[in-house]
């Protein structure tokens, strides 16, 4: 199984500052079609998760351009620029390269 | 507007069965793979089961394989999860999700339905 390991944030993050969340996979998520099958989701308090980023760096429809994804085949970063109160929640990375599909354990973002 | 509405959750004793449903609307259901994902109280997300758009193939993690069955009725735009031999560790909120049809990501999520396994 592909293990997804997420880093922690130095909470709370001051409003207006940037925050970077790391995620590492135990196997390269780069597929032969050139796409990297790493997705990011945000779960706000009391809500269902929502898609933020897919294919490592493509923003989902309606997602603020303050969110950006980057990385290599095994090391990934979700950067949130100018954090706002609405960014509070838990962020999950997830691989869709192969079954069983796996998620990271989540990274909590708090705002000061 | 895409909507996924789960139902069928509740309190069930260990060893018993429960069947969840998810009614989809706002898109052509039979064009999309679908997936169940769960979240134990205060914990992270765990993939539970996936099914292809035709229902011809299904996928499960070892934790539920042989106990859970995912299925769909494309005529009714409804996804199901039959859960047998339930254990306390199956206690969670279960989310119905749509898999984007060319992207391999979960682009829509239901509101979730709670399943509690306890005597």
Give tens-digit pLDDT for A37-83.
999 999 999 999 999 999 999 999 999 999 999 999 999 999 999 99
**SS3 per residue for chain B:** CCEEEEECCEEECCCCCEEEEEEEECCCHHHCCEEEEEECCCCCEEEEEEECCCCCCEECCCCCCCCEEEEEECCCCEEEEEECCCCHHHCEEEEEEEECCCCCCEEEECCCEEEEECC
Pairing of strands B34-39, B106-109: unpaired
Q: Which tokens go with A72?
A: 């290599």
Could you give the C-alpha distances from A84 to A18, A63, B107, in angstroms and in order? 10, 14, 23
> Of the candidates B50, B95, B104, which has its C-beta nearest A48's C-beta?
B95
Q: Does A39 touch chain B (CB under 8 A)?
A: yes
Q: Does A67 touch chain B (CB under 8 A)?
A: no
pLDDT in tens, A4-42: 999 999 989 999 999 999 999 999 999 999 999 999 999
Q: What is the pLDDT of residue B101?
A: 83
Across the beta sheet with B3-7, what order do the strands follow? B3-7, B18-25, B78-83, B68-73
Q: Is B109 on the interface with A (CB under 8 A)?
A: yes
B99 Cα to chain A: minimum distance (Å): 10
What's residue A55's pLDDT? 97
Q: Which of B48, B45, B22, B115 is nearest to A42 (CA)?
A: B45
Query: How close A11 comes to chain B (CA, Å)?
Result: 18
Query: Inter-chain contact B50–A101, Cβ cutoff 8 Å?
Result: yes
A104 touches chain B (CB under 8 A): yes
Residues whose CB falls within 8 Å of the CB of residue A58, separated by 6 or more in sequence, listed in order: A69
- In the predicted structure, residue A85 carries a pLDDT above the cut 90: yes
Verify whether the Cβ–Cβ distance A51 to B107 is below 8 Å.
Answer: yes
Please indicate whether, in this complex, the C-beta atoms of B44 and A92 are within 8 angstroms of each other. yes
Q: What is the pLDDT of residue B103?
A: 79
Q: Is B112's CB within 8 Å of A50's CB? A: no
Q: Name residues 85-104 of chain B within 8 A of A (Cβ).
A: 95, 100, 103-104
Q: Do A49 and B61 touch (CB under 8 A)?
A: no
Which residues are CB-contacts of B21 (< 8 A; sequence separation ≥ 6)? B6, B7, B8, B78, B79, B80
Per-residue tens of pLDDT for chain B, all 119 residues: 999 999 999 999 999 999 999 999 999 999 999 999 999 999 999 999 999 999 999 999 999 999 999 999 999 999 999 999 999 999 999 999 999 988 799 999 999 999 999 99
């Amino acid at each position: 199984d592909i293990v997804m390991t997420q880093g922690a944030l130095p909470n709370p993050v001051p409003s207006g500052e940037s925050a970077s969340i790391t995620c590492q996979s135990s196997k390269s998520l780069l597929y032969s079609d050139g796409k990297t099958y790493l997705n990011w989701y945000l779960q706000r308090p009391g809500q269902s998760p929502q898609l933020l980023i897919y294919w490592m760096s493509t923003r989902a429809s309606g997602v603020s351009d303050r969110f950006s994804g980057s990385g290599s085949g095994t090391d990934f970063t979700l950067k949130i620029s100018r954090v706002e109160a609405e960014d509070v929640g838990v962020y999950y990375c997830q691989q869709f390269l192969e079954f069983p599909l796996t998620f990271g354990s989540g990274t909590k973002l708090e705002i000061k | 507007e895409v909507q996924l509405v789960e139902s069928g959750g509740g309190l069930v004793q260990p060893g018993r069965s429960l069947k969840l449903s998810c009614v989809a609307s706002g898109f052509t259901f039979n064009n999309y793979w679908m997936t169940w994902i769960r979240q134990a109280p205060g914990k992270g997300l765990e993939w539970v089961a996936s099914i292809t758009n035709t229902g011809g193939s299904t996928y499960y993690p070892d934790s539920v394989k042989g106990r859970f069955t995912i299925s769909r009725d494309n005529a009714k735009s409804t996804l199901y999860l039959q859960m047998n031999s339930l254990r306390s560790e199956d206690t969670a909120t279960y989310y119905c999700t749509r898999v984007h049809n060319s992207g391999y990501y979960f682009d829509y999520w239901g509101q979730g339905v709670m399943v509690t396994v306890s005597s």
